[in-house]
Structure 1
Amino acid sequence: MSFSEEDKVGTIQPHDDALVVTLRIGGYDVKRVMVDQGSEAEIMYPYLYNRLGLKPEDLMAYDSPLVSFDGKIVIPKGQIRLPVQAGLEVVEVSFILVDAYSSYKAIVARSWLHALGAISSTLHLKVKYSSEDWIEELVRSQSVVRQCLIAAITH
């Protein structure tokens, strides 16, 4: 698997956009999922937790504090394991629920990429992974990324 100049077609270049995709989480299509290959933790924000109809009793304990993007310490509300589907591939992911504002609904990190056998490119704004005998691609939505940026700034 590799990326080429052709993989940039359809993106506005140059850019400094995050890699944001739509994934099926817990049986629902979820937009605004950030792929963060630099993170160790998969994160879920309250909006998605509530929209999935999850309840406090669905959470497992998680007591390690996290550091947010703005450098503040965040105490997680707990952890929940859910299926995350990309194309035909399904990977079980342990999301840490944090009670913090984000214009993203969730963040998937290195452990999700590794479990899927995927590689990501922020330059090309794509995730590629093998599915049976072919290469699948998750393609970004650059306009959604920019909407997230505007939402974060105005918040």
Structure 2
Amino acid sequence: MVDQGSRTEIMYPDLYKGLKLKPEDLTSYNSPLVGFNGNVVIPRGQIRLPVQVGSEVVGVDFIVADAYSPYTAILARPWLHAMGAVSSTLHLKVKYPSGGQVKELVGSQYMTRQCLVSTIKHQAKDEPSAPTDKGL
């Protein structure tokens, strides 16, 4: 996910495990994060990894967060600035200069909906059920 409002790149457990990263690969990161749902998350650490888009490769400092997310990672303003990119949430596109041309990444409306559904189901599962008035 690209979040032009965020100033921190985040990596979630599925990607961390998928890349076979180990705790010793991380450097310390001592600042807590506040998630979209308002919960405070203590990060596992930080890691710098190359992110390739087309032929462009940019080093990104990811904070590894042990929290639920339908996304594997969030790329934020530092990545957008390093790429010289502009994102449009309306058009689900990121445009960036490369080799004298303007190239673009195109998002998927279907995947966006699937992530939203996943988040709603996860939140509903975590919320305590309200007491019922049956039997009173």
Q: What is the distance in 2 between the residues matched to 1:82 and 1:126?
A: 23
How do residues 11-26 of structure 1 correspond to structure 2 at under 5 angstroms? none
Tell me which structure has the larger Cα radius of gyration.
2
Equivalent residues, number:
122
Q: What is the distance in 2 between the residues matched to 1:68 and 1:140?
A: 23
Between Structure 1 and Structure 2, the one with more strand by share is 1
Match of 1:120 in 2: 87
Q: Describe the SS at the equivalent of 1:115.
A: helix
State TM-score, norm by structure 2. 0.88
Match of 1:148 in 2: 115
Q: CA deviation at 1:129?
A: 0.5
- Runs of 5+ in structure 1 lacking a partner? 1-33
Q: CA deviation at 1:124?
A: 1.1
How do residues 3-82 of structure 1 correspond to structure 2 at under 5 angstroms? 34-82=1-49
State TM-score, norm by structure 1. 0.78
2:101 maps to 1:134: yes
Match of 2:50 in 1: 83
Q: Describe the SS at the equivalent of 2:91.
A: coil
- Runs of 5+ in structure 2 lacking a partner? 123-136
Q: What is the distance in 1 between the residues matched to 2:12 and 2:77?
A: 18
CA-to-aligned-CA distance 1:94-137 (integer Å, 9 cap, x gap): 00000000000000000000000000011111000100111100
Same amino acid, percent of matched pairs = 67
Root mean square deviation of aligned Cα: 0.6
Which is bigger in relative contact order (C-alpha 8 A, separation at least 6)? 1
Find runs of 4+ consecutive structure 1 residues off by over 2 angstroms.
none
